[in-house]
């Protein structure tokens, strides 16, 4: 039972991480000091998709699931198991990825526009 609860807590943490990758840049509009954490999270999140980095949360959940006597996540990983085909149809995967990437890009552009102060000279 404790490992089942641990696996569930890791899955919830994983959902929170994925959500932060998508919307964390918008949070930085209000809390600018969080942009560094979002840059790291987004880099890691997109790296798992584009480059194939192993996700430590997937590893940890599989470890806890095995000790709870449950089957591990499929080879395709967390997103395929919990989101694709559950939250959105398999056929929309490309659209969902594009929407997530667009949200991140828009949040970064907005961050720069809100927090970048161009150099101005007062000697005119």
pTM, two decimals, is 0.85
Q: What angle do CA 33, 113, 123 make, to 5 degrees?
A: 100
The single residue listed with the structure tokens 């979002």 is 38
pLDDT in tens, the chain (124 residues): 799 999 999 999 999 999 999 999 999 999 999 999 999 999 999 898 888 888 899 999 999 999 999 998 888 788 888 888 898 999 998 999 999 999 999 999 999 999 987 666 555 5
Cβ pair 37, 24 in contact under 8 A? yes
Hey, is 84 helix, strand or coil? strand
Nearest to 76 by CA among 51, 95, 101, 49: 49
Q: How far apart are CA 88 and CA 41, in angstroms?
A: 23
Nearest to 14 by CA among 88, 89, 64, 51: 64
pLDDT of amino acid 124: 52
Q: How far apart are CA 82 and CA 14, in angstroms?
A: 10
């Amino acid at each position: 039972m404790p490992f089942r609860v641990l696996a569930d807590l890791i899955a919830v943490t994983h959902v929170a991480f994925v959500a932060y990758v998508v919307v964390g840049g918008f949070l930085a509009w209000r809390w600018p000091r969080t942009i560094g954490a979002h840059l790291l999270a987004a880099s890691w999140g997109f790296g798992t998709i584009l480059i194939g980095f192993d996700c430590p949360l997937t590893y940890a959940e599989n470890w806890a699931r095995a000790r709870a006597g449950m089957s591990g996540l499929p080879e395709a990983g967390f997103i395929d198991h919990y989101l694709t085909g559950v939250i959105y149809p398999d056929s929309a995967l490309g659209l969902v990825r594009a929407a997530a990437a667009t949200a991140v890009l828009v949040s970064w552009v907005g961050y720069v526009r809100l927090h970048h102060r161009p150099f101005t000279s007062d000697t005119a």
